[in-house]
């Protein structure tokens, strides 16, 4: 059986848009995409400018030291996981090394300290650090110095 053609002719009007209209539409689409990329509530969040600046701030605050194991950290870790509703705020973020960040994954901990203790245990490293304090670098330096002189 042949179906009756139901599509009205105005359906095709779209192909007759002027090139200016098309250009305008593309511009709008681009603007919308940018808006989407900077929205904290989407999967593309880690590419957003917001995250990049936050990430930089966290690394700066913690002086590039993993707050869990004391190694060099290049990542900003959500203490309470983002996928479980953790906030993108400085209080919920600490500098972490790749290993610690990956190992913790989306596990939920009651506090930074409990997370740190767990990570130190499962990663077989000696935990060095209290949560970000101003004298962090000095402590580490002193510790490394002591180790160097002991051995
Ligand atoms: Zn670490």
Residue 72 DSSP code: B
Q: Which contacts (CB < 8 Å, 24+ apart) does range 11-20 have?
A: none
Domain boundaries, the chain: 48-150
| CB neighbour list of residue 70: distance below 8 Å, 6 or more residues apart | 125, 126, 127, 128, 129, 140
* C-alpha 95 – ligand 1 centre gap (Å): 9
Residue 109 CA, chain-centre distance (Å), reads: 18
- Rounded to two decimals, the pTM is 0.58
Q: State the Cα–Cα distance between residues 107 and 81, nearest whole angstrom.
A: 7
* C-alpha 135 – ligand 1 centre gap (Å): 18
Q: For 78-87, what is each residue's pLDDT tens digit?
A: 999 988 888 8
* C-alpha 125 – ligand 1 centre gap (Å): 9
Q: For 14-35, what is each residue's pLDDT tens digit?
A: 566 677 888 888 899 888 877 7
Burial environment of residue 94 by CB neighbours within 10 A (0 to 12, 13 to 18, 19 or more)? buried
Cα 125–Cα 88–Cα 105 angle in degrees, nearest 5: 35
Q: State the Cα–Cα distance between residues 17 and 65, nearest whole angstrom.
A: 56
**CATH architecture of the domain with range 48-150:** Orthogonal Bundle (1.10)
Strand partners, 98: none
Q: Nearest to residue 109, comparing CAs of 70, 74, 68, 75?
A: 68
Q: For 58-115, what is each residue's pLDDT tens digit?
A: 999 988 999 888 888 999 999 999 888 888 888 899 999 999 999 998 899 888 888 9
* C-alpha 72 – ligand 1 centre gap (Å): 7
């Amino acid at each position: 059986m042949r179906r009756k053609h139901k599509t009205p002719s105005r359906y095709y009007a779209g192909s007759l848009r002027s090139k200016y209209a098309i250009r305008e539409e593309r511009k709008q689409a681009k603007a919308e995409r940018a808006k989407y990329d900077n929205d904290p509530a989407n999967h593309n969040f880690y590419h957003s400018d917001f995250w990049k600046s936050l990430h930089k701030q966290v690394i700066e605050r913690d002086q590039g030291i993993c707050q869990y194991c004391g190694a060099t950290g290049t990542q900003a870790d959500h203490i309470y996981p983002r996928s479980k509703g953790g906030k993108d705020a400085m209080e919920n973020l600490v500098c972490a090394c790749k290993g610690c960040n990956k190992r913790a994954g989306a596990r939920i901990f009651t506090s930074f300290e409990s997370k740190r203790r767990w990570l130190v245990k499962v990663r077989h490293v000696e935990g060095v650090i209290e949560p970000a304090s101003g004298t962090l670098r000095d402590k580490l330096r002193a510790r490394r110095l002591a180790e160097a002189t002991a051995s």
